[in-house]
């Protein structure tokens, strides 16, 4: 127990809505604490974004206290308290499965040791033991304003170590996503994964194949849209975790280490990090378009050879196959796969600029993303497209008259040939 005078944390550093939830639970006769990342981030001098609450009230009891509450989750039941756009997540303290007595509390594991149902409740001490990393097992109480450290989390923060609570192999088997979280926390907090926690990762990486694709999509967003995407990519490859997320791309990268493909992906993530850290928007459609680009090119060539199709038809077929296979690993929502499709299709149309084609192409909603995609390809080493990228860069910097002049200079390059008028047949009048 770290008293108020020693930890330097103030209630003002937390969301006012999170504090409201704590007091409402307290007034309802329940114990309640802020827990996890928000405590860790404040201690590290960072601004917390999410505020999680843990309580000894069951989800149903929480719902009775809050009209703005909705219960979610099957694997582990949670209460979401909604304040406009902000959601305060409230979890009931978890217990050990061996101590399960109440029939209403359900626990279920797979043959690999993965927890499929985890609705077993317990004390705060048990809850701390059930948390994943020691840096996340810190609790803040509004009763005495103390911080409770049950797993040497403060020592881990000082040592800059990401360490699992309990036996690492068992904990990873319970939830293989913890391997992804270990990587994300290490890069986000500028820490190292503790040797004991690091050791089993490569051996157990394939357990990610058992995680629902929808859940992996959420983890991908956290890994690649947090400003540390390039570092996360390198670590995922290092531990063999990337293979379960993007197996086809991983195989291509293994075949050509340090090649154009790896340069392209690293540059894409570096650019993404720059935009995120500058508070600019990045669409997941662009990221997935880049991650699946080389599998798409490879598949297009294979279909073209095998089925003797035109490049355009083979490309269209390959898009469907690549997206279908990717959905078996990561369930990317349709709004993002449609965006990726547009970016890919525009790549094939960028050299068709004659007449009104260039102007019409710039009116496409995804044109700017597709143009950035072309620049990325050139930067990575596709020098055969350098002249095309320079033309589009110059074109976009011109006014309407300048653009028309650039198109006129192209002549009919890339456009349809002018149609010749058919000759009229004239019939000779019969001579008398």
Does the residue 135 lie in any domain? yes
**pTM of the shown model:** 0.85
CB contact at 8 A, 122 and 102 = no
pLDDT for the residue numbered 424 = 60
DSSP class of residue 89 equals E
Tell which residue, 341, 246, 335, 243, has the closest CA to residue 295.
246
User: Two tokens at 247?
Assistant: 């197996």
Helix (H, G, I), strand (E, B) or coil at 148: strand
114 touches 175 (CB < 8 A):
yes
* Sole residue written with tokens 């996340």: 136
- 342 within a domain of the structure (yes/no): no
Q: Which two tokens stand for residue 26?
A: 């307290």
Output phi, psi for 232, to 5 deg: -65, -40
Residue 140 in any domain: the answer is yes
Reduce the secondary structure of 351-370 to three states and give it as a string.
CCCCCCHHHHHHCCCCHHHH
Find the CATH number of the domain harbouring 11: 3.30.460.10
Which contiguous run of DSSP H or E holds residue 20? helix 16-27
Residue 330 located in a structural domain: no
Which two structure tokens, joined as six digits, stand for 350? 């960028």
What are the φ/ψ torsions at residue 349 (nearest 5 degrees)? -105, -5
Assess if residue 50 is contained within a domain: yes
- Reduced to 3 states, what is the DSSP secondary structure of residue 80? strand
CA dist 354 and 111 (Å) reads 61
d(CA 3, CA 9): 10
Count of domains for the chain: 1
Within a 10 A sphere around the Cβ of 304, how many other Cβ atoms?
Answer: 18
Compute CA 86 distance to the chain's CA centroid, rounded to the nearest angstrom: 20
- Tokens describing residue 367: 């044109």
Number of H-type helices and E-type strands within the chain: 23, 11
Please enumerate in sequence order all residues whose Cβ is within 8 A of that of 125, keeping only pairs 6 or more positions apart, or say none. 150
Flag whether 9 is in a domain. yes
Provide the pLDDT for residue 239.
Answer: 97
> Biggest alpha carbon distance in the chain?
125
In a domain, 113, yes or no: yes
Take residue 6 and report the two structure tokens written for it. Answer: 């020693």
Q: Which range marks the domain in which residue 62 is found? A: 1-159
Give the pLDDT confidence score for residue 107 in this predicted structure.
45
In a domain, 397, yes or no: no
Q: What distance in Å separates the CA atoms of residue 32 and residue 220, rounded to the nearest whole number?
A: 31
Mean pLDDT by 10 residues, the chain (432 residues): 86 92 95 92 88 93 94 84 94 72 47 52 87 93 91 93 94 95 96 97 96 95 96 97 96 93 97 95 95 96 90 93 95 96 96 92 95 96 95 95 92 52 57 50
Question: For residue 94, what is the DSSP state?
Answer: B
> Any idea which residues carry the catalytic annotation?
50, 52, 132
Nearest to 151 by CA among 171, 130, 128, 172: 128
Q: Whose CA is closest to 381, among 289, 263, 252?
A: 263
Smallest Cα–Cα separation from 349: which of 331, 363, 329, 335? Answer: 363
> What torsion do the CA atoms of 112, 117, 122, 124 make, to the nearest 10 degrees?
70
Distance CA 79, CA 61 (A): 10
């Amino acid at each position: 127990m770290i008293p108020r005078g020693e930890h330097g944390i103030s209630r003002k550093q937390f969301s006012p809505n999170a504090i409201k939830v704590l007091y409402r639970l307290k007034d309802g006769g329940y114990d309640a604490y802020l827990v996890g990342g928000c405590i860790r981030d404040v201690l590290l001098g960072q601004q917390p974004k999410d505020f999680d609450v843990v309580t000894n009230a069951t989800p149903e009891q929480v719902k009775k206290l809050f009209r703005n509450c909705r219960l979610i989750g099957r694997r582990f039941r949670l209460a979401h308290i909604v304040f406009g756009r902000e959601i305060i997540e409230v979890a009931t303290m978890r217990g050990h499965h061996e101590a399960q007595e109440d029939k209403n509390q359900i626990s279920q594991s797979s043959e690999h040791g993965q927890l499929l149902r985890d609705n077993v409740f317990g004390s705060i001490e048990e809850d701390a033991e059930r948390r994943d990393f020691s840096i996340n097992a810190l609790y803040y109480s509004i009763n005495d304003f103390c911080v409770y450290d049950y797993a040497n989390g403060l020592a881990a923060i000082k040592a800059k170590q990401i360490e699992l609570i309990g036996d690492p192999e068992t904990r990873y088997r319970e939830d293989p996503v913890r391997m992804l979280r270990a990587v994300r926390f290490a890069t986000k907090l500028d820490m190292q994964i503790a040797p004991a926690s690091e050791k089993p990762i490569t051996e157990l990486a394939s357990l990610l194949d058992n995680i629902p694709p929808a859940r992996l999509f959420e983890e991908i967003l956290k890994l690649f849209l947090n400003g540390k995407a390039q570092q996360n990519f390198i670590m995922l490859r290092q531990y063999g975790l990337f293979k379960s997320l993007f197996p086809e791309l991983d195989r291509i990268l293994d075949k050509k280490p340090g090649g154009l493909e790896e340069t392209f992906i690293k540059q894409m993530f570096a650019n993404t990090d720059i935009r995120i850290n500058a508070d600019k928007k990045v669409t997941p459609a662009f990221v997935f378009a880049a991650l699946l680009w080389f599998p798409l090119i490879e598949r297009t060539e294979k279909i073209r050879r095998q089925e003797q199709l035109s490049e355009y038809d083979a490309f269209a077929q390959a898009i469907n196959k690549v997206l279908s296979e990717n959905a078996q690993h990561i369930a990317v929502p349709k709004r993002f796969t449609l965006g990726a499709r547009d970016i890919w299709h525009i790549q094939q149309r960028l050299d068709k600029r004659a007449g009104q084609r260039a102007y019409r192409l710039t009116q496409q909603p995804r044109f700017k993303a597709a143009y950035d995609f072309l620049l990325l390809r050139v930067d990575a080493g596709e020098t055969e497209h350098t002249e095309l990228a320079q033309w589009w860069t110059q074109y976009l910097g011109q006014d309407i008259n300048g653009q028309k002049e650039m198109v006129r200079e192209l002549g009919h390059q890339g456009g349809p040939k002018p149609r010749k008028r058919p000759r009229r047949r004239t019939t000779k009048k019969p001579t008398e």
